[in-house]
Amino acid sequence: MIKTFTQNELVQYVYNELNGKAKTQLETALLQDQHLAEQCAELLIAKANLEQLEKGPREKTISAILSYSKNLSLQH
């Protein structure tokens, strides 16, 4: 019998926080339950979009941080 999954477990799966047996059971359920698979796909797409948003600081800022650390080390 296929285990029924909550929406929250689906979120845990999408963020790789569902472990061991529960993860395997969910993956089995995804193969057999089209509605669940569609819901999972929607969450995965939204997550993937968010991952592309990451931005980086200027090189100047990073240099300042590294210099600060080096100067602090020299003082001790």
Note the residues at the interface with another protein (CB under 8 A): 7-8, 10-12, 15, 17, 42-43, 45-47, 49-58, 61-62, 64-66, 68-70, 72-73, 76
Place of tokens 């600060």: 68
Alpha-carbon span 36 to 30, nearest angstrom: 6
User: Quick one: tokens of 45?
Assistant: 């797409």
In the complex, the smallest distance separating the C-beta of residue 28 from another protein, rounded to whole angstroms, is 21
CB nearer to another protein: pick between 1 and 50: 50
In the complex, the smallest distance separating the C-beta of residue 46 from another protein, rounded to whole angstroms, is 4
Residue 2, φ and ψ in degrees, nearest 5 = -80, 135
